[in-house]
Structure 1
Amino acid sequence: MRLAEIPLCVWRTRGQTFLFRGQNIRYWTAGQGEPLLLIHGFPTASWDWHYLWQPLAQRYCLIACDMLGFGDSAKPVKHHYSIVEQADLQQALLAHLQVRQPVHVLAHDYGDSVAQELLARHHEARAAIASCVFLNGGLFPERHRPVLIQKLLLSPLGWLVGRSFTRDDLVKHITQIYGPQTRPSESVLDDCWSLIDANHGTRIIHKLVGYLPERIAQRGRWVGAMQHGDVSLRFINGAFDPVSGHHMLERYLELIPNPDTVSLHGIGHYPHTEAPGQVLRHYLAFRQQLQPFKKIACS
């Protein structure tokens, strides 16, 4: 299934801004119906959802933002970035939009961790989550395999690595985690770099990777929330991904009761841009039934 893309230049014109703790946050909304919160990954932005945006907006009320430090949102230099704060941001955006009913969540990568934090808050009666679908991400830190640039950014010289990070570095590292037949075009790479570089993003990119040790610190609480069982979950996994591919899905099957999983063969770390038609089909099927599977659906 081929889905129409939204060019980044058009996407940017459709965004709005709200203040979160004194910082400008860019966000997008579309459609009507039950609220669906889309949470992007590292190091990109909410434009990652552009293939799915229009077909999902025909069914749901979509909400997405560039999180603090990402995309076209503020990127303060003297700031401690955390997943916990990004979950605060998502809840602040929902409050800004006066969304009071439980929200469905579709998340990827870094956004998976934000979704896990929201799930934990749901079980603590501090959030209301109707369902959650994860795409590739480090749900279980013991199975996450970070790429070299993430390790370098976490090192004591991470600030220097970040400031010297270029489009060529992005191409070198990001193309390794795509499927062999679904690698991004030069135009897409230009757009991804534009979002990373906006608002002098390379000055703070080393601070954003603090989510990796945060995942370890929060593992028990976050995995426990997934195991609770009262929120319907699905994991749609690009199996070819060397960072969080089939090995992450195997761990999901080991730890999550009545696991509902989808394995996309030949697809890498970005299923929603590499195989958006397949992701859309499996997401809509999940929403139609909202009941966990006991086997892997393959595509």
Structure 2
Amino acid sequence: MALAEIPLCVWRKRSQSFVFRGQTLRYWTAGQGEPLLLIHGFPTASWDWHYLWQPLAQRYRVIACDMLGFGDSAKPANHEYSLLEQADLQQALLAHLNIEQPVHVMAHDYGDSVAQELLARHYESRAQIASCVFLNGGLFPETHRPVLMQKLLLSPLGWMIGRAFSRDGLVKSFRQIFGPQTRPSESEMDDFWSLVESHRGPRIMHKLIAYIPERREQRDRWVTAMQRNDVPLRVIDGEVDPISGAHMVERYRELIPDADTVLLPGIGHYPQIEAPCQVLKHYLSFRDQLLFPPRKVACS
């Protein structure tokens, strides 16, 4: 059965705001129970989670924000954007909501890197993470395959490329990374573009893309944290994603002990949009395993 969408106009009306280091950020929260932090990817926003929002809110207290430089949050032009600062932002939001208990995390794309930073901080006693699920993202710089637009934004002409970025450019990029049978409709593309364009977003895209070299800088620290194996982890990954698909999952299985991975056939880079029912099923089964781990039978 298909999950009901939340139209972007409705989603926006439900937002709240808080101030982080002088900048106004938009956030959403719903439900009760254990806190579940949802962290979106590049270049989109928290609306990416709208299909999963209500089903998850029936079981957990779900929390999401448009990170600095994304969606309807502030997009300051004279700012050096950093994944580490975005992790600070997530922790500030949890503090704003008076959440002191360990949080569960589900992240996607750029958000995977923010989640990796939070996981590293957990082992440094600077955050409390109960579990983490990664959707398609560049968990390992050596397996990340950026699309042409990302390469251009990283170039010396990135500032000009960003300013010229248009809805057509977004459509071309999304055609490359979505599954062949699960591409967004024209209406969905209008909504994605509305979030990118909000607050003159294209003019800072070359600054946001600095996350790619930053991932390389933090790679060993983040991978070491994932290898600790004390916090339960799962990867739910769209198999045909050219950026972070099956090849990334293969590397994950090589590097992470007892790797818990799910590959979604025919699905691309945005599984929570392309196959939300499957993502929900595999996420809830992961959480159920935390409550009711498989029994180990002793043999004599």
TM-score by length of 2: 0.97
Match runs of 1:220-231 below 5 Å: 220-231=220-231
State the superposition RMSD in angstroms: 1.0
Q: Decide whether the 8 Å contact of 1:25 with 1:73 is kept in 2.
A: yes
Quote the offset at 1:216 in angstroms: 0.4
Q: Decide whether the 8 Å contact of 1:6 with 1:51 is kept in 2.
A: yes
Q: Decide whether the 8 Å contact of 1:260 with 1:292 is kept in 2.
A: no
Paired amino acid for 2:207: K
Task: Specify the alignment match of 2:123 in structure 1.
Answer: 123
Task: Specify the alignment match of 2:298 in structure 1.
Answer: none
Task: Specify the alignment match of 2:206 in structure 1.
Answer: 206
Which 5+ residue runs of structure 1 have no aligned equivalent? 294-299
Task: Specify the alignment match of 1:6 in structure 2.
Answer: 6
Match runs of 1:132-281 below 5 Å: 132-281=132-281
Task: Specify the alignment match of 2:94 in structure 1.
Answer: 94
CA distance in 2, matches of 1:149, 1:123: 35
Quote the offset at 1:23 in angstroms: 0.1
Q: State the secondary structure of the residue aligned to 1:191.
A: helix
Q: Decide whether the 8 Å contact of 1:117 with 1:222 is kept in 2.
A: yes
Q: State the secondary structure of the residue aligned to 1:204.
A: helix
Q: Decide whether the 8 Å contact of 1:258 with 1:292 is kept in 2.
A: no
Task: Specify the alignment match of 2:58 in structure 1.
Answer: 58
CA distance in 2, matches of 1:73, 1:224: 32
Residues 170-220 of structure 1: CA distance to partner in whole angstroms, max 9, x if unpaired?
101111101010000000000000000000001101100000000000000
Q: Decide whether the 8 Å contact of 1:178 with 1:241 is kept in 2.
A: yes
Residues 130-151 of structure 1: CA distance to partner in whole angstroms, max 9, x if unpaired?
0000000000010000000000
Q: State the secondary structure of the residue aligned to 2:125.
A: coil
Paired amino acid for 1:48: D
Q: State the secondary structure of the residue aligned to 1:105.
A: strand
Residues 11-51 of structure 1: CA distance to partner in whole angstroms, max 9, x if unpaired?
00000000000000000000000000000000000000000
Task: Specify the alignment match of 1:110 in structure 2.
Answer: 110
Task: Specify the alignment match of 1:297 in structure 2.
Answer: none
Paired amino acid for 2:90: Q
Residues 232-288 of structure 1: CA distance to partner in whole angstroms, max 9, x if unpaired?
000001000000000000000000000000000000000000000000000000000
Please state if 1:72 is matched with 2:80: no
CA distance in 2, matches of 1:171, 1:110: 19
CA distance in 2, matches of 1:66, 1:148: 25
Paired amino acid for 1:79: H
Q: Runs of 4+ in structure 1 displaced over 3 angstroms?
A: none
Which 5+ residue runs of structure 2 have no aligned equivalent? 295-300
CA distance in 1, matches of 2:169, 2:235: 30
Between the two proteins, the alignment pairs up a number of residues equal to 293
Paired amino acid for 1:77: A
